[in-house]
Structure 1
Amino acid sequence: MRIRSTAPLALAAVTALAGSLLLAAPASATKHAGGLHLGKIQYDSPGKDDRSNTSLNAEWVDIHNNGRTKLQLKGYKLKDNTGYTYTFGSRTVAAGKTVRVHTGKGKNTTAHVYWNRGSYVWNNTGDKARLIKPSGKLLDSCSWTKANKGTKNCH
């Protein structure tokens, strides 16, 4: 009786699986090639945390539109681990543009919106920003630790 080796079959299976994973890798790398996502976060405002409006506004999150058309942000939410939530009113972000959400008070413009808080949102030692669609579905998230030294590039 002849005993067949399963090594060639196992090698073929592993090779096929590895090939399919390699093909899938670029798709995940281009996750944000066309749409709304979290960009850069300044979670630790430079200087002393004195709760001044200047210091609060130096804490911010960039939301970027990599798409080819403008997007309406009404109903989108920006949320931290504690549950602090900023909900966008009627606001569009043009294709290829960014809107920066500042923690403190100020006058909203095309590129800057203000949470109007009197205290900080993002924890310096570690936190997670979440961008949530109006449907409640998580669109993007970005987390950090104190090792990021105050600023985090999310993508």
Structure 2
Amino acid sequence: MRAAMRVGIGAAAAGLAAVVLTATPGTAATPAVHFAGIQYNAPGADTTRNVNGEYVKISNSGSRAVSIRGWSVRDAAGHRYTFPTYTIKAHDSLWLHSGKGRHTHRTFYWGSGWHIWNNNGDTATLRDTHRVHDTCRWTRSTSSGWKTC
């Protein structure tokens, strides 16, 4: 965030320099736990066989571990995955696949029998029970089906 400095008139008249910092609107900082990217279009034609080709990568770019127990990932249609007890370490990532599978360290499965993300546009939302932490949106499919958030 950039800051502009101004000298207070009263302080300058008294021979003293006062510095006032004011924020300039800019780009919001990336939250510590955020979407790093989404593979919203699994390779090949959408079938029940390639559901896990869709996945979300969530990263923690902060310097502290964060518990994401109870946090959720949602699409625009209201499909929701809620994380079990898990702490994402500082400077680490996890993957959430749309289909079924067995959770492992850093890999989770939504449990869906079909694709979650719309290839032609969708919005992913990462939230805890109180607030939204991040969103990632795309409006059309790319050849790779990958969106860096």
TM tier relative to shorter chain: 0.7 to 0.9
Q: Is the 8 A contact 2:119 2:141 kept in 1?
A: no
User: For this pair of structures, how many residues does the alignment match?
Assistant: 127
Counterpart residue identity of residue 141, structure 1: T
Higher helix share: 1
Please point out which of 33, 36, 50 is paired with 2:33.
36
SS in 2 for 1:57: helix
1:140 is the counterpart of 2:134: yes
Bigger strand share: 2
The answer to whether structure 1 residue 105 and structure 2 residue 88 are counterparts is no
1:51-90 alignment, distance < 5 Å: 51-52=48-49, 55-90=50-85
What code does the residue aligned with 1:148 have? T
Residues 93-136 of structure 1 deviation map (CA, whole Å, 9 limit, x = unaligned): 1110111100011111122100111011100000000001122x
Shift of 1:20: 5.7
Tell me, in whole angstroms, the C-alpha distance in 2 between the residues paired with 1:37 and 1:99. 11
Q: Is the 8 Å Cα contact of residues 100 and 112 (structure 2) preserved in structure 1?
A: yes
2:42 aligned with 1:48, yes or no? no
5+ residue gaps, structure 1, are 1-18
SS at match of 2:77: coil
Assess, with a 3 A threshold, how the Cα gap between structure 1 residues 147 and 114 changes in structure 2: closer, same or farther.
Answer: closer
When normalised by structure 1's length, the TM-score is 0.76
**Equivalent residue for 2:126?**
131
SS of residue in 2 equivalent to 1:56: helix
Q: TM-score of the superposition, structure 2-length normalised?
A: 0.79
- Measure how far apart 1:68 and its partner are: 0.8
**Within the alignment, does 1:94 sit opposite 2:89 as a pair?**
yes
What is the deviation of 1:148?
3.3
